[in-house]
Chains A and B, each alone.
Chain A
């Protein structure tokens, strides 16, 4: 009954009530949003670096390397030499090393050359079809498959680079051989193929451009060279490295040769030779923790590569984010303080006109404690209503953010998830604000002198 009176009372002054509820809703919504965002963001980021101790890649920003190769959001730092990388990949410290080669995208979804191990690492299984095996065979992540409505056996052309508008590689179509299971991790948004596919796709283009030049070179060359070249050609098949160290014209010819060789390879589905090829990054898991300590220093000293530690870079990223999040959080707490003050002022102002009402309730047999409860409950009703609206509005905001972050970064958030502990604390905080705002008016109602109030009427 007291609660019913309280409820009727707060809606008797709808504007005051609305103001208090709006302020509370705003602050709870912001804080809820931040809680969900931070929690899911960190979870998403931490899930994806599980089992990656270090990323080997081209020199540049280590954060960029991590973002591009682990989370597939930023542009790569550059390419590294596969032969060189292999030396490190085969080191006894290393437990697993997964090479990655970026090249194309299909409608904004990255096509990444890698090994089947990459799928295993993220716990993705092939739900439909089989793993990629031959060149240009791809396994499609669950989200990509769903969004693009891709089925096993479909063919598509990739566009060069990161952007959807990139040049389309029309020479080779990718064939979908498998669909991966949903993991909630980055792999869901990727199209995976073997590394030679990426090489083949791009070498092919490169070679076409150079073909003309190569012929021109032939014209300029004297006959004396011819034998040498022929010998070199034969040599090429066995040792590309040597060929690359030779003069310009050999290089072109090497390309020409390679082109030819590749076309053959493509047709017989033999792997492309790895020599002199480049990849983008290697995800490394160490057997020995010594690697984590020493390699980030050793690698740049001895090579043109770098070793970036995801755990450290992500921590750094969170720290950077943290400043912004903290500022927003302070803002939200500020709004909550204001809403507390607004409730206080509303209760305190109406106290003057309501003291007769309170005196009357006492005359009718209400105890002091019941009046105290009445004021307290009014404040708490406002707070609980504000909290409920706030949680809902915060989640609506998150689903909006999720929509835009999904299309931009392929990161989605689940607005229906509850972070019970933090949201519980937030609820307690809201209640505390309500109690605090009501304390003075409630105590005044408690201590009301009914005789004096009624006599002065």
Chain B
């Protein structure tokens, strides 16, 4: 469950954003669309605690992100927020499985190896677990980052343009996968995109203007 209240943000002078209030509950999906320069990514970063709003607040369940210290916020984010980005980044020297396990270790201090394997299997990556991320296709990499985002069963799953670099078939596959997994793990899903293909799939939509 995520709710926001009156969040504003500005990059120095000139560009400032005022975002509408957002709510997404457990298992729900919310699509945020808007043209470029409307602050889609900024909003996503605010929701994920990567940026702090100038005013207003973000609540995940009952926790207010604005009262957390930097260190606590890092920890909270690792444990409760999963992030899938437009482009997938990995620790290049670790293999796929290690990358996913690393996310569990950073958040909880435990190596959830079995769970990571299960998740990767579910995402059809069973044969690629011991490859380096750079050896995978873009679509496969995207799926690995989804597995990584979900390994800690977060309360909030954020996706930034998860489909924009994929073809139609893969875009729908990823969209279904995200909403399906969000339901399975009881996670609130927020997708930020300008991809028109997704608009038919998600009834809950907010358009930034």
Q: Given the interface contacts A451-B45, A455-B41, A455-B42, does A368 sit within 8 Å of B74 by beta carbon?
A: yes
Taking the complex as formed, is B50 at the interface, i.e. its CB lies under 8 A from any CB of chain A?
yes
Taking the complex as formed, is B136 at the interface, i.e. its CB lies under 8 A from any CB of chain A?
no
| Interface positions of A (Cβ within 8 A of B) | 1, 5, 8-9, 11-12, 354, 356-357, 359-370, 450-451, 454-455, 457
Q: Across the interface, do B93 and A361 meet the contact criterion of CB distance under 8 Å? A: no
Q: Across the interface, do B70 and A5 meet the contact criterion of CB distance under 8 Å? A: no
CB distance from A155 to the nearest CB of B (A): 70
Chain B residue with Cβ nearest A350:
B92
Q: A8 touches which one: B74, B93, B106 (CB < 8 A)?
A: B93
Q: A361 touches which one: B71, B87, B91, B92 (CB < 8 A)?
A: B91
Q: Across the interface, do B45 and A365 meet the contact criterion of CB distance under 8 Å? A: no
CA of A360 to CA of B70, assembled, Å: 16
B42: chain A residues within 8 A (beta carbon):
455
Within 8 A of A (CB), among B67-95: 70-71, 74-75, 77-79, 83, 85-87, 89-94
Q: Given the interface contacts A8-B93, A454-B85, does A361 sit within 8 Å of B106 by beta carbon?
A: yes
Q: Across the interface, do B89 and A1 meet the contact criterion of CB distance under 8 Å? A: no
CA of A220 to CA of B107, assembled, Å: 115
Q: Given the interface contacts A1-B105, A5-B94, A8-B94, does A365 sit within 8 Å of B89 by beta carbon?
A: no
B97: chain A residues within 8 A (beta carbon):
none
| Interface positions of B (Cβ within 8 A of A) | 41-42, 45, 48, 50-51, 70-71, 74-75, 77-79, 83, 85-87, 89-94, 102-103, 105-107, 148, 160
Interface of A: prevailing SS = helix
Q: Across the interface, do B78 and A457 meet the contact criterion of CB distance under 8 Å? A: no
CB distance from A359 to the nearest CB of B (A): 7
Q: Given the interface contacts A5-B93, A455-B45, does A366 sit within 8 Å of B86 by beta carbon?
A: no
Q: Across the interface, do B93 and A365 meet the contact criterion of CB distance under 8 Å? A: no
CA of A367 to CA of B79, assembled, Å: 13
CB distance from A25 to the nearest CB of B (A): 23
CA of A354 to CA of B75, assembled, Å: 21
Chain B residue with Cβ nearest A10:
B93
B107: chain A residues within 8 A (beta carbon):
364-365
CA of A370 to CA of B70, assembled, Å: 13
Q: Across the interface, do B74 and A362 meet the contact criterion of CB distance under 8 Å? A: yes
B106: chain A residues within 8 A (beta carbon):
361, 364-366, 370
Q: B92 touches which one: A12, A370, A455 (CB < 8 A)?
A: A12
9 intermolecular pairs with C-beta atoms under 8 Å apart: A1-B102, A9-B93, A363-B50, A366-B74, A369-B71, A450-B50, A451-B45, A455-B45, A457-B87
CA of A9 to CA of B132, assembled, Å: 12
Q: Across the interface, do B85 and A365 meet the contact criterion of CB distance under 8 Å? A: no
Q: Given the interface contacts A1-B102, A457-B86, does A365 sit within 8 Å of B78 by beta carbon?
A: yes
Q: Across the interface, do A363 and B77 meet the contact criterion of CB distance under 8 Å? A: yes
Q: Across the interface, do B92 and A364 meet the contact criterion of CB distance under 8 Å? A: no
Residue from the set B78, B89, B94, B103 with the largest chain A CB neighbour count within 10 Å: B89
Q: Across the interface, do B75 and A365 meet the contact criterion of CB distance under 8 Å? A: yes
Q: Across the interface, do B94 and A457 meet the contact criterion of CB distance under 8 Å? A: no
CA of A454 to CA of B90, assembled, Å: 13
B102: chain A residues within 8 A (beta carbon):
1, 5, 361, 364
Q: Across the interface, do A365 and B77 meet the contact criterion of CB distance under 8 Å? A: yes
Q: Across the interface, do A367 and B93 meet the contact criterion of CB distance under 8 Å? A: no
CA of A370 to CA of B78, assembled, Å: 13
Q: Across the interface, do A368 and B70 meet the contact criterion of CB distance under 8 Å? A: yes
CB distance from B68 to the nearest CB of A (A): 13
CA of A369 to CA of B102, assembled, Å: 16
Q: Given the interface contacts A364-B106, A364-B148, does A11 sit within 8 Å of B93 by beta carbon?
A: yes
CB distance from A328 to the nearest CB of B (A): 37
A451: chain B residues within 8 A (beta carbon):
45, 50-51
Q: Given the interface contacts A5-B102, A364-B103, does A357 sit within 8 Å of B91 by beta carbon?
A: yes
A361: chain B residues within 8 A (beta carbon):
91, 102, 106
A364: chain B residues within 8 A (beta carbon):
78, 102-103, 106-107, 148
A354: chain B residues within 8 A (beta carbon):
92
User: Which 7 A-B pairs give the minimum distances between C-beta atoms?
Assistant: A365-B78, A12-B93, A8-B93, A365-B107, A451-B50, A365-B106, A356-B89
A5: chain B residues within 8 A (beta carbon):
91, 93-94, 102
B45: chain A residues within 8 A (beta carbon):
451, 454-455
A356: chain B residues within 8 A (beta carbon):
89
Chain A residue with Cβ nearest B100:
A364
Chain B residue with Cβ nearest A369:
B71
Chain B residue with Cβ nearest A353:
B92
